[in-house]
Amino acid sequence: MVRHRRSYTREFKLEAVRLAHESEKSVSQIARELGIHPTILGRWIKQFDQDPEQAFPGSSVGNWNG
């Protein structure tokens, strides 16, 4: 069985993090309602909290500095 990795838009991630910050619901409950694993939402929250401006940059060519 082949498993495909799902990708999420920056807007979806930002909305999920906003819900986690503003809601009185648990991260697990929010993740369940969004159809994602709680670990993924926790990772997004951590990324956003560390650097909101650079969180979820996407894969555009302009983001690579190599």
pLDDT score, position 66: 35
Structure tokens at 24: 């009185």
47-55 own/partner pairs: CB under 8 Å, 24+ apart: 48/13, 48/14, 48/17, 55/13, 55/14, 55/17
Q: What span, in angstroms and rounded, lies between the C-alpha atoms of 3 and 29?
A: 24
Q: What span, in angstroms and rounded, lies between the C-alpha atoms of 1 and 13?
A: 28
Q: Residue 63: pLDDT band by 50, 70, 90 thresholds?
A: very low
Q: Is the pLDDT of residue 1 over 70?
A: yes
Q: What span, in angstroms and rounded, lies between the C-alpha atoms of 44 and 48?
A: 6
The string of pLDDT tens digits covering residues 16-50 is: 999 999 999 999 999 999 999 999 999 999 999 99
pTM: 0.80
What residue segments make up the domains of the chain, in order of their start? 10-53
